[in-house]
Amino acid sequence: MVPIEGLPEVQAGDDLAGLILEACGSVYPLRPDDVVVVSQKVVSKAEGRLVQVDPDDPMSHKPLVISEATRVLRRRGDLIITETRHGYVCANSGIDRSNVAADIAALLPVDPDRSARRLRDAITHRTGSRVAVIVADTFGRPWRRGVTDIALGCAGIRPVLDLRGTPDASGRVLHVTEVCIVDELAGAAELVRGKSAGVPVAVIRGVDPSWFGPGSVTGDVVRSYDDDLFR
């Protein structure tokens, strides 16, 4: 796992794939079967998902939280836990004001799986290397303190895999264990991205090539309202 440093400040309309490839450069050229993990924030910036807010009012983005949500699940003080249009359950509909100008709030990409697909297609096309892309964001969880990075969107990698669905050492056939590898990969990447003071891109090399394949986070990971026991 390698953090990719040297990405410039990303602006709306920027060619993010090009910037990533430039930052990888000759230091860490992408190879086939690399997984490129990109932070939601730079994707939102490149896609222009930025809204002007009152820089002097720390609550001025709250109306956006509601307009980006399909359901408000919980409120406590300033904290609003919502279900977004994509189906993610997170704080403030994923909107935040860090790493943007004081008068800007960054919204989540409209379709993070599509964002991942576009990045993957552009990188694969320009390098000739088949890569997978994960768009990662930082979410809290119920039950446990602290945040972890999870996958908002992905392309080129199967999000949920049965890593252990074989008879176990006792010859007993295991219950199927469907592991959400894209969330584990996003969290792993955060460890090297965060370490390097918020570097927005990391490359994970050496994953099993059999993990590459079709799938999306909204299709394969996001639980529907009716399937969920805690909403």
183 belongs to the binding site for its own copies (CB under 8 A): yes
Strands 79-84 and 2-3, sheet pairing: unpaired
Torsion 65-75-220-193 (CA) sign: positive
User: Is residue 111 involved in binding its own copies (CB under 8 A)?
Assistant: no
Q: Any contact of residue 5 with its own copies (CB under 8 A)? A: no
Select from 76, 125, 128, 226 the one that contacts its own copies (CB under 8 A). 76
Asked whether the beta carbons of 93 and 109 are under 8 A apart, the reply is no
Q: Which of 125, 121, 131, 117 is nearest to 30 (CA)?
A: 131
For the CB of residue 125, give the shortest distance to its own copies in the complex, in Å. Answer: 28
Contact 64, 107 (CB under 8 A): yes
Q: Does 3 bind its own copies (CB under 8 A)?
A: no
As a dihedral over the C-alpha atoms of residue 210, residue 212, residue 217, residue 220, rounded to 10 degrees, the angle is: -40
Pick 122 or 179: Cβ nearer its own copies: 179
Where in 42-71 is the site for its own copies (CB under 8 A)? none
Helix (H, G, I), strand (E, B) or coil at 124: helix
Q: Could you say which of 208, 209, 213, 214 contacts its own copies (CB under 8 A)?
A: 208
Q: Which of 149, 132, 148, 138 is nearest to 206 (CA)?
A: 132
Does 164 engage in binding with its own copies (CB under 8 A)? yes
Residues near its own copies (CB under 8 A): 9, 74, 76, 81, 88-89, 97-102, 138, 141-150, 159-160, 163-164, 166, 168-170, 172, 174-175, 177-181, 183-185, 187-188, 190-191, 194-195, 197-198, 207-208, 220-223, 228-231
